[in-house]
Amino acid sequence: MSERVYRETFDQGPGGWLRTMDNVQPLAPLVLRNGAIWSYSPWWVDYNHAPPGAGYIQLLMCLNTKGPFTERVHDVGGVNRFVQGGFGTDFTNARMALRIKGELELRGARVVLLIQGSVDGKISGWLLTGQPITVTSDWSEPTITLVPDAVQWTPLGSRHDRTDMYGVIDLKKILGNVNVNLYLVMFPVTVVPMGPIDGDPHVLRAGRDYPLWQSKIPEGYVGVDTVQIAFPQ
């Protein structure tokens, strides 16, 4: 069976890869150095999927998978060579290989792939928790396969007040049309309020409505030199 392969080496810029900072300042460039992209902590603790959703995540780097894009997205991430190359959004059984390195204080989290797709205006995210990505201080080349097996995935869901935007849609439907983006994220992230708070920590917005103990959440950096995604034809 032939394959179509997306390969990004970052030798000609970020290629559309960027970083999400928070709900207020959503986009920022990644550090581009020596033909690799780099993401450094502190990373925003994304509270949009707090329980009853899957929990808290930290967003390391992102690739939007479908255009058109705003001028701001283009300014931050450069030309998106995934979309420019005409790669589709069906990631079923796609194999993703990374050349990656870093130093991390994981604190119970792992680096995992997040895919997101939109159906009828609602975004559904799935975390490939069955195939976490090991990051070491030397370059390594792990490979993951985006299998349509829900046992290997965790649905991201939504916090109590974001169900108008986020929800859980069947994995096979999302995997067959990842029409929003894909991320490398830290998950699960343990949120510990710094001092007493008034209310449920999951109803309140972690890090915004109350401060967090930074020593309890992941820290470090991750660099990616090459991303390759092979799509079965």
Assess if residue 233 is contained within a domain: no
What band does 2 get if pLDDT is binned at 50, 70 and 90?
A: confident
Residue 21 pLDDT class (50, 70, 90 cuts) = confident
What is the arithmetic mean of pLDDT over 1-13?
A: 91
Give the pTM.
Answer: 0.96
Q: How far apart, in Å, do the first and last CA atoms of the chain sit?
A: 7
pLDDT digits over 118-160, tens only?
999 999 999 999 999 999 999 999 999 999 999 999 999 999 9
Return d(Cα 41, Cα 59) in angstroms, integer: 10
160 found inside a domain: yes
Residue 56 pLDDT > 90: yes
Q: Which residue segment(s) compose the domain that 189 sits in?
A: 3-228
pLDDT of residue 24: 67
Does the pLDDT of residue 1 top 60, yes or no?
A: no
Domain count, the chain: 1
Q: 140 in a domain, yes or no?
A: yes
Q: Is the pLDDT of residue 37 over 80?
A: yes
Question: How many Å apart are CA 77 and CA 79, to the nearest integer?
Answer: 7
Q: Identify the pLDDT of residue 211.
A: 97
Asked if the model's pLDDT at residue 25 lies above 80, the reply is no
**pLDDT for residue 3 is more than 90:** no
Instruction: Give, in degrees to the nearest 5, the angle at Cα 102 between 152 and 191.
Output: 60
Residue 164 is predicted with a pLDDT of 96
Predicted pLDDT at 23? 73
pLDDT at residue 22 is higher than 90:
no
Alpha carbons 8 and 226: distance in angstroms, whole number = 6
Q: What is the DSSP letter of 163?
A: T
163 part of a folded domain? yes
Helix (H/G/I), strand (E/B), else coil: 75: helix
Is the pLDDT confidence value at 75 over 60?
yes
Fill in the DSSP letter of residue 216.
G
Share the mean pLDDT of the chain.
96
Which range among 24-33, 76-85, 87-96, 141-150 shows the weakest confidence by mean pLDDT? Answer: 24-33
Examine residue 62 and state whether it is found in any structural domain, yes or no.
yes
